Structure 1
């Protein structure tokens, strides 16, 4: 089955392009165009009262749809922001900066986290314990050993690592070893909408971060965090959305927070992207398009892609240079590790000149897959990577 018909607007702008970077910026389906206009219409209709429409109708609907997508039992625990960094830092701001803060993470987290954590390390009482993800074969054991050391205030890890596509160990294999006093954040940006994800057993225990920029296909501007049900943290970095329901009451005394996920909300933002996300989730539900179905389709694409490379026998883009050959525990992009960053840059440019768009990080070339691809699309690789 082909899903290309749902992406006609984006594809019309790139008629001779094979977009192999959806893990970076996913094409938007056509339904998001009407959603963009719906936000304008609601703004015109509501003017000063558009927040009643947004928080009374749109936000609860998206919360419900995300909860269904992730099998999360508490829709009201989902909070929205323009980016995940904003939500991440609200959690960090819940800790007293005058007290020691000990964090466990990996060396393969997204740029905003790695930059923020480097800045926090300038504090006198901040300690970061980092576990290398490579070699991947031993990472689960090394991660579990680090978790068992204990004494952490916060643990942060990705669901799928952005620089490899490798899925992190299942929560069930290490979360039981974590003290109840430790906050746990899972960055699901490369997992949500790509890998089937079931949060029911962990909903009261972890923060789950994700957003619409990649596999949820809604573009930038709508990220979210699922907050543990009984969380009583009081983020210092806070805004007027964080107690929206009580805005009309006197604002004296200790700063109050919402009793649900909204306690981590910020302030005024453009909700256009939330409308786009709503339209994507509604399309999936309307057509019975589950994450499991899309994941299986992408896995078929990945196998077809690799079969094409086997025929091509390129000296660099081949299975021998595939960072992780086992695709059973893997996200929706494949990473090829070459000898030098220069080789990667040259290859990416060669592919781009033939209309095949990839992306790269240092000496790693990444090919992403999406449901707007067909198996036949990868035949273009033969011409693009031909020595002639």
Structure 2
């Protein structure tokens, strides 16, 4: 059994000594190694001044690309492109489709707010159509999803790896991707999966756009997101910036806008790369400690099992195992979601926990508990104490 790594997060713990942080799915604590990385970005900026881009694109970016490729078993490190957020990358892909042509998209009702908002706005176009498949009931979703894939003709299919509003894993790619026509672009939102769920993209790297970032389980904070772009992709995003042809910046510009022949064709423009430095530090630390995603996932699954045992012992009228949205822990990411009867019950229970130093988060009638390698099973006794004392 892997040990807790609580000792590696002392910078954050020192600021919240009385808090049990059960919301790493919302904003993960950063390990201490990221502080030195933040300073390294300052030092490289001071050292390079106008030429810091040579350091960033010549040394830092390729190193992080290599680490991400190993993490996700992706054969093409050069196909990883970075941006401040995944939405920026998402919209670059959508901007590759002419506005005047029909655009039909298949997705679910459980995608993150930015995607849902963007799709709602695009639906104001007369040529745009969104087909939405409800994820609940979860037991029948894989069958309903595959049926939708088989029956429709879409330009884009977009779904999460782990659904943000439930923690439930989406159907494995191998169950439905073979039914997708070659002309359909497939995008996977891996934000709640990357760094939490063992992920192998080796067989789909030439087919799938995979989006994720440092804010959640990669533990590097905001400002560094990435997309793995299929090899030999020739899309020409309309929403583009000077990074997208960085290697040819000094050459005479062609009549037609040119793009890099790798993932960088989806790059944007000037951004703060301190998040990439922090991500680099986390990935180096994981490698040094032998912290594979499989090891961390097994540790979190054990924590979830012991957490639910404590919930069973508590015998709370609302916070009960049968309130889980999905009972099978094998089908969860790194947070568990309890569905109550009313939104007021959720907000009151979340506030009750917060008043005793237990940080959770909630959406409507759903209360979410997240798990991390800076937890120990004994920590969850605080939940029992907090709810029994009120």
Normalising by structure 1, what TM-score? 0.99
Alpha-carbon shift at residue 364 of structure 1 (Å): 0.2
Structure 1 CA distance for aligned equivalents of residues 389 and 284 of structure 2? 46
Structure 1 CA distance for aligned equivalents of residues 225 and 314 of structure 2? 40
Alpha-carbon shift at residue 193 of structure 1 (Å): 0.2
Alpha-carbon shift at residue 329 of structure 1 (Å): 1.4
What are the equivalent positions in structure 2 for 1:367-382 lying under 5 Å apart?
367-382=369-384
Contact 1:210 1:223 in 2 (8 A): yes
Encode CA deviations 1:196-250: one digit per residue, 9 max, x unaligned: 0000000000000000000000000000000000110000000000000000111
Contact 1:150 1:179 in 2 (8 A): no
Alpha-carbon shift at residue 166 of structure 1 (Å): 0.5
1:26 corresponds to 2:28: yes
Could you say what secondary structure the match of 1:174 adopts?
A: helix
Aligned with residue 140 of structure 2, among 130, 138, 141: 138
Counterpart position of 1:72: 74
Aligned with residue 165 of structure 1, among 164, 167, 180: 167
Could you say what secondary structure the match of 1:193 adopts?
A: coil
What are the equivalent positions in structure 2 for 1:1-388 lying under 5 Å apart?
1-386=3-388, 388=390
Supply the RMSD in Å over aligned alpha carbons: 0.6
Contact 1:23 1:214 in 2 (8 A): yes
Alpha-carbon shift at residue 82 of structure 1 (Å): 0.1
Alpha-carbon shift at residue 59 of structure 1 (Å): 0.1
Structure 2 CA distance for aligned equivalents of residues 204 and 139 of structure 1? 26
Alpha-carbon shift at residue 387 of structure 1 (Å): 5.4
Encode CA deviations 1:62-102: one digit per residue, 9 max, x unaligned: 00000000000000000000000000000000000001000
Alpha-carbon shift at residue 152 of structure 1 (Å): 0.3
Structure 1 CA distance for aligned equivalents of residues 250 and 256 of structure 2? 16
Encode CA deviations 1:28-56: one digit per residue, 9 max, x unaligned: 00000000000000000000000000000
Structure 1 unpaired stretches of 5+: none
Alpha-carbon shift at residue 150 of structure 1 (Å): 3.1
Normalising by structure 2, what TM-score? 0.99
Structure 2 CA distance for aligned equivalents of residues 166 and 323 of structure 1? 8
Alpha-carbon shift at residue 252 of structure 1 (Å): 3.5
Contact 1:7 1:27 in 2 (8 A): yes
Structure 2 CA distance for aligned equivalents of residues 216 and 2 of structure 1? 17
Encode CA deviations 1:137-179: one digit per residue, 9 max, x unaligned: 0000000000001310000000000000000000000000001
Contact 1:341 1:363 in 2 (8 A): yes
Segments of 4+ in structure 1 off by > 2 A? none
Larger mean CA deviation between 38-47 and 249-258 belongs to: 249-258
Could you say what secondary structure the match of 1:102 adopts?
A: strand
Structure 2 CA distance for aligned equivalents of residues 386 and 163 of structure 1? 27
Structure 1 CA distance for aligned equivalents of residues 21 and 73 of structure 2? 31
Q: How many residues are matched?
A: 388
Structure 2 CA distance for aligned equivalents of residues 36 and 364 of structure 1? 35
Encode CA deviations 1:316-374: one digit per residue, 9 max, x unaligned: 00111111111111100000000111000000000000000000000000000000000
Structure 2 CA distance for aligned equivalents of residues 49 and 137 of structure 1? 54
Structure 2 CA distance for aligned equivalents of residues 296 and 227 of structure 1? 29
Structure 2 CA distance for aligned equivalents of residues 250 and 316 of structure 1? 67
Contact 1:241 1:265 in 2 (8 A): yes
Could you say what secondary structure the match of 1:155 adopts?
A: strand
Alpha-carbon shift at residue 106 of structure 1 (Å): 0.3
